[in-house]
Amino acid sequence: MSNNNLPTWEVFIQPKTGASFEHAGNVHASDKEMALQNARELYTRRQEGTCIWVVKTEDIVSSNPEDQQSFFDPADDKLYRYPTFFKVSKKAKGL
């Protein structure tokens, strides 16, 4: 079976515990276990990550860039959602 017939899985790697996941690329695999193994072999050979997510490409849903104004407009009036009103201690690293 060629790679063209296998589903594509997007790979996300967490570089260190507590960090955000980052998109690393994609792999072809017949099921989720194979996708995890392929992702591990391809993207973390040198221990670059602490955790891997794989998601079928066809299952990812995205907003449309042309809908930006109407889609994100409701958040404009909710400034309290941003942490600019709080003082952060200098001891808190990584924030």
Helix (H, G, I), strand (E, B) or coil at 68: helix
CB atoms within 10 A of CB 39: 24
Query: Rounded CA gap, 60 and 46, in Å?
Result: 28
**Residue numbers of the domain that contains 7:** 3-63
The count of domains in the chain is: 1
Assess whether pLDDT exceeds 80 at residue 75: no
Q: Which CATH number covers residue 42?
A: 3.10.20.520
Helix (H, G, I), strand (E, B) or coil at 13: strand
- Tell whether 75 is covered by a domain: no
pTM: 0.68
Query: Rounded CA gap, 20 and 12, in Å?
Result: 10
Query: Rounded CA gap, 57 and 7, in Å?
Result: 8
Task: Give pLDDT tens digits for 12-69.
Answer: 999 999 999 999 999 999 999 999 999 999 999 888 889 999 999 999 998 888 887 7
